[in-house]
Amino acid sequence: MRYEDLYRRSIEQPEAFWAEAATAIDWNEPPRKILEYTQPPFRKWFAGGTTNLCHNAVDRHLAQRADQLALVAVSTETGVTREITYRELHREVNAFAAVLKRLGVGRGERVVIYMPNMAEAVFAMLACARIGAIHSVVFGGFAAHNLALRIDDARPRLLIAADAGSRGGKVIPYKPLVDQACAEAKFPPSKVLIVSRGLDAAQPRVEGRDEDYAALRAQVGDQEVPVEWLESNEPSYLLYTSGTTGKPKGVQRDVGGHAVALALSMRTVYDVGPGQVMFSTSDVGWAVGHSYNVYGPLLVGATSLLYEGLPVNPDPGIWWSLCEKYGVRTMFSSPTAVRVLKKHDVAYIRDHDLSKLHYLFLAGEPLDEPTAQWITNALGKPVIDNYWQTETGWPVLCLLPGVDMKPVKFGSPGLPNLGYRLRVIDETTGNEAAVGEKGVLVIEPPLPPGCMTTVWNDDARFLSSYFGHFRQLLYSSLDWAIRDKDGYTFILGRADDVINVAGHRLGTREIEESVSSHPAVAEAAVIGVHDELKGQVPVVFATLKRSDAGSAEAAAQMMRTVTEQLGAVARPSRVYVVNALPKTRSGKLLRRSLQALAEHRDPGDLSTLDDPNALEEVKRALERGADAGS
């Protein structure tokens, strides 16, 4: 079917479209109504229907694929690989559910999961889904204060933690962080369940609170726990994302809509079906990890490859080695990861048999054209950008190789996904932006299935954060975008990352794209810094592909490149060449921290910082002065 026809049906006949999509999952009770939309923008998809994510991800596959691999958990940090069939996954999830029940966890209660990419993290998530508990996964190793904030908002009955994580061979004990968070929290959980891998044996236990998973697992044996059938709109999980107020927002996802949207996207977007293999390099603590490390592949009876470790350890070919070994069909990673690999010999990719790999999808941040071109040439496979948010849970802008593969346009994540009524509008007037004119990307409600239903325990914040930006009732992505004549959308960066230079509004993303087009540049971050005369001026921090390249000459060339491509108004005020840029563990650049340092302010919460040396490198660069400046 043509993309245009299917998309048109999804927005002109949404109830018929989603009723058909809903047949891809099992329902205990069929939906009474496909869409209930009486209190805009709040909506209920598949109202009255009862289903269960764990049943759909595990139990229903036992009849046909019990001995097929469901999960392959590879850790280059511990040297352990676990190959788990659907039968084994069913047994382990039931055992974990029995342990949850023994610890008093019931339907609707919250469970915080504080674990790295290990098999038990997947067991724990599915076990919560099985008994109707609401899981909230927090990135393993997250700072204690931030964990405490999430505990106080979710008020969990139980916290599940690994004894420790590991990064680059360095053990990161989790138990001290858990203890500190529980001590700080006003509403700490009554029980903490420790899943030990033997990485941190010397961890003191809190009497009456701490439990050992291995001991309880032995006690419950192979006990089976019945599935709890949930109404489609009951919460399935909470996933916290940063808010402008400093208090994290608990993005709340439903059960039925989430399952239907993911099942649809696995077929249409990622082109993965039963028995095929998907490799998502995300962490389970992020939205991609939820959707495409855990639930998405399992919902369609595929095999999910879960990886713990660095993309360059033991060598930069590790990911491609796994693709070859397990016959990965679709891989999902991030532009940042590719830029890391770009610093190494392309032979690490080409030395592997990737004949079964059909696609590489990239998301999480805008994909710059030089990076897209490099990885496309290296792989000789379609490299497909896709754009979405924690709040949407699945792609908003993408191409659909499972339906009708349209041409890739470097720099664009593609076309509106099925069910999304997208517009690019003028932020002041609310009018439709013309072709090639910058505006804010918005979604006309009702949001399609799979998107957030509200902010946990805070409907008012849901309304103000996402629907309070325009006179019309529109979901604001808070991202700048333009559309071309073919309907492709290009994301220019956050609407709140706009620089106002002497009355001219410039997106940092546009300048970054220009700087990154210079052949010597590996990666760049552009921020707006306060200027007495112009209000703000753009400042560039960049890393080079070769450490022996002349930094002053390269910096001057970057300034010329921006001037030539974007005009004098966009010319950077200063360019700093550094050896590394500060990023979160998920690979996102800490632009606000860069801005704060450049303006001699406190860089704020750095709990998610991946490499502290990168921040010190920036401080030293600021002290010594710019490599080029106007």
pLDDT attached to residue 227: 98
DSSP letter string, 474-532: -EEEEEEEEE-TTS-EEEEEEGGGEEEETTEEEEHHHHHHHHHTSTTEEEEEEEEEEET
Residue 67 predicted with pLDDT over 60: yes
> Which pLDDT band holds residue 39 (cuts at 50, 70, 90)?
very high
Q: Which residue has the tokens 């002290």?
A: 623
Q: Which tokens in the block code for residue 242?
A: 């940063």
Whole-angstrom distance, CA of residue 419 vs CA of residue 398: 12
Q: Are 418 and 214 in contact (CB under 8 A)?
A: no
Q: Are 34 and 22 in contact (CB under 8 A)?
A: yes
Q: Does domain 3-309+386-478 have CATH number 3.40.50.2000?
A: no
Q: Which tokens in the block code for residue 85?
A: 């069939």
pLDDT attached to residue 497: 67
Amino acid at 327: G
pLDDT attached to residue 608: 66
**Residue in 46, 1, 38, 4 with CA at minimum distance from that of residue 448:** 46
Q: Counting beta carbons within 10 angstroms of the beta carbon of residue 590, is it exposed (0 to 12), middle (13 to 18) or buried (19 or more)?
A: buried
According to DSSP H, which parts of 103-194 are helical?
119-131, 144-154, 175-184
Residue pLDDT, tens place only, 513-566 = 889 888 999 999 999 898 876 778 999 999 998 876 678 999 999 999 988 877
pLDDT attached to residue 398: 97
Distances (CA, A) of 413 to 282, 362, 364, 481: 18, 9, 11, 11
> Average per-residue pLDDT in the chain?
93
Q: Are 274 and 266 in contact (CB under 8 A)?
A: no
Q: 296-328 in b/e burial notation, b at 16+ Cβ within 10 A?
A: bbbbbbbbbbbbbbbbbeeebbbbbebbbebeb
For the segment 79-93, the average pLDDT, to the nearest whole number, is 98
For the segment 88-110, the average pLDDT, to the nearest whole number, is 98
pLDDT attached to residue 238: 98
**Residue in 257, 250, 253 with CA at minimum distance from that of residue 232:** 257
567 or 352, which is more confident: 352
Whole-angstrom distance, CA of residue 612 vs CA of residue 593: 12
Whole-angstrom distance, CA of residue 198 vs CA of residue 162: 10
**Residue in 534, 525, 575, 571 with CA at minimum distance from that of residue 554:** 575
Q: What is the 8-class DSSP label of residue 77?
A: T
Q: Which tokens in the block code for residue 498?
A: 């706009």
- In the sheet that holds 475-483, the strands lie side by side as 422-425, 439-443, 475-483, 489-494
**Residue in 172, 159, 86 with CA at minimum distance from that of residue 128:** 159
pLDDT attached to residue 148: 93
Residue pLDDT, tens place only, 165-204 = 998 899 999 999 999 999 999 999 999 999 999 998 777 8
Q: Which tokens in the block code for residue 138?
A: 């927090």
Q: At 264, is the secondary structure helix, strand, or coil?
A: helix
Q: Counting beta carbons within 10 angstroms of the beta carbon of residue 343, is it exposed (0 to 12), middle (13 to 18) or buried (19 or more)?
A: middle
Distances (CA, A) of 443 to 88, 186, 217, 416, 475: 41, 37, 46, 10, 5
pLDDT attached to residue 5: 97
Whole-angstrom distance, CA of residue 439 vs CA of residue 589: 23
Amino acid at 513: E
pLDDT attached to residue 307: 98
For the segment 328-352, the average pLDDT, to the nearest whole number, is 93
Residue pLDDT, tens place only, 256-300 = 999 999 999 999 999 999 999 999 999 999 999 999 999 999 999
* R_g of the chain computed on alpha carbons: 24
Mutual orientation of helices 144-154 and 175-184 as an angle, nearest 10°? 50
For the segment 405-423, the average pLDDT, to the nearest whole number, is 96
Residue 409 predicted with pLDDT over 70: yes
Q: Which CATH superfamily is domain 502-629 in?
A: ANL, C-terminal domain (3.30.300.30)
Residue pLDDT, tens place only, 461-477 = 999 999 999 999 999 99
Residue pLDDT, tens place only, 357-398 = 999 999 987 788 888 999 999 999 999 999 999 999 999 999
For the segment 566-580, the average pLDDT, to the nearest whole number, is 88
Residue pLDDT, tens place only, 209-234 = 999 999 999 999 999 999 999 999 99
Whole-angstrom distance, CA of residue 282 vs CA of residue 269: 17
pLDDT attached to residue 61: 98
| Percent of the chain whose pLDDT exceeds 70 | 96
606 or 35, which is more confident: 35
Residue pLDDT, tens place only, 4-34 = 999 999 999 999 999 999 999 999 999 999 9
User: How many other C-beta atoms are found inside a 10 Å radius of the C-beta of residue 505?
Assistant: 12
pLDDT attached to residue 496: 65
Q: What is the 8-class DSSP label of residue 213?
A: H
Predicted TM-score of the model (pTM): 0.85
Residue 615 predicted with pLDDT over 60: yes
Domain extents for the chain? 3-309+386-478, 502-629
Sign of torsion over alpha carbons 383, 71, 315, 515: positive
pLDDT attached to residue 504: 63
| Phi, psi of 97, deg, nearest 5 | -65, -40
